[in-house]
Amino acid sequence: MKIKNTFLLIFIIFCFISCQKNEKDESIIKNIKIDYSKKLISKISKNGDFINSNNFHKFSLKAKEINNFLNSNANIHIIDLRSGKDFSEGHIKGAINIKFGELFDYFLSRDIKGFDKVIMVCYTGQTANYAKSIMQLQGFDNVYSMKFGMSAWNKKFSEKWENGISDKLIGKLENTNNQKSSKKKLAYFKCKKSSETDILEIRVKKLLKDGFKKAIIKSIDVISKENEFYIIHYGNDKIYKNGHLKNAIFYNSNLSLKTDLETLPNDKTIVVYSAAGQISASVVAYLRLLNYDAKTLKFGANNFMNKALKEEAFSEKEINNFQFETSEYIEDEGKVEEGGC
């Protein structure tokens, strides 16, 4: 009987120790933080990391180039992101109207990679650049956008850009060469999945669901509140040296993990602007994918120093007189997505 009791005692002690060990192991596993940001960056890099590549600027096409493609019967596919009503009142021949939030499903339902070029079109080019960049980060390397949007296609659609330009800050801009912040931790986010592919897909779907309006800000909401933001002038050092928004810092093709990505704050809104808001929209897509609170400045520097931009200014010469089609408008009973700007 003593022997039985001894074995029973040993068995109980063994079970207790094993349970304690298992609980400890499970606790360690639960407390391990997966570095989702670095996993996402790794996947973006495998997909070409086009935001930080030398090809970055080649994915924005002028209206004339696209019109030439149409006349040559090139293998292109045009996606118009404007509202259904505006699309019906005038669009490029052959274009298809897709809601911003439905892009991911549409891309998966079509042989998108079978086209030489898939061209995103919107009102001013800013929404299209944002959408194009999201889908390129997902791995579609044949996606382009039309510079200045439908405003450049025909005078009928140019009102948004014509009303978006001004010279209100010429003579009031700063010339200080502001320095980048010291290195910080990357923006952090949690994810239900742990594989690089799944993390990217989840983040892409989130950005498309959020829409473009969360990613854009007007200059009136930034000027005089510059200290509240981390402002980035992106892309052209000559323009930066000639005058920039107060506290703005110059960056150019250097937002990879190996360069200056870690200089960005993860606890402050980042406002990015380029000459026309096209490039900055693409940069903001990349930053928001990584969970930074980033916004592109509407109409870019054209909104406050148009004449000073010279060759990068929006002007009448950018507006063409290309043909367009109209179609019947069937009102959508569901949520209407205007496509930003």
pLDDT by residue (tens digit) across 31-65?
Answer: 345 789 999 999 999 998 888 887 777 899 999 99
Task: Report the distance separating Cα 278 and Cα 227, nearest Å.
Answer: 24
297 and 227 within one domain: yes
| Residue span of the structural domain in which 133 resides | 38-156
Q: Is residue 324 part of a domain?
A: no
User: Any catalytic annotation for residue 341?
Assistant: no
Task: Give the pLDDT of residue 53.
Answer: 82
Residue 202 within any structural domain of the chain:
yes
Q: Active site residue: 15, 19, 122, 191, which one? A: 122
Q: Which percentage of the chain shows pLDDT scores above 90? A: 77
pLDDT in tens, 256-276: 888 899 999 999 999 999 999
For residue 264, what is the DSSP state?
A: S
What number is the average pLDDT over the span 7-15?
A: 51
Average pLDDT, the chain: 89
> Distances from the Cα of 191 to the Cαs of 123, 160, 184, 202, 220, in angstroms?
34, 38, 21, 8, 35
Residue 186 located in a structural domain: no
- Residue 117 domain-assigned? yes
pLDDT digits 0-9 by tens, 239-249: 999 999 999 99
Residue 178 domain flag: no
User: What pLDDT shows up at residue 143?
Assistant: 97
Give pLDDT tens digits for 52-106. 887 777 899 999 999 999 999 899 999 999 999 999 999 999 999 999 999 999 9
Write the CA distances from 142 to 45, 115, 286, 321, integer angstroms: 16, 8, 17, 27
Residue 206: what are its φ and ψ, rounded to 5°?
Answer: -65, -45
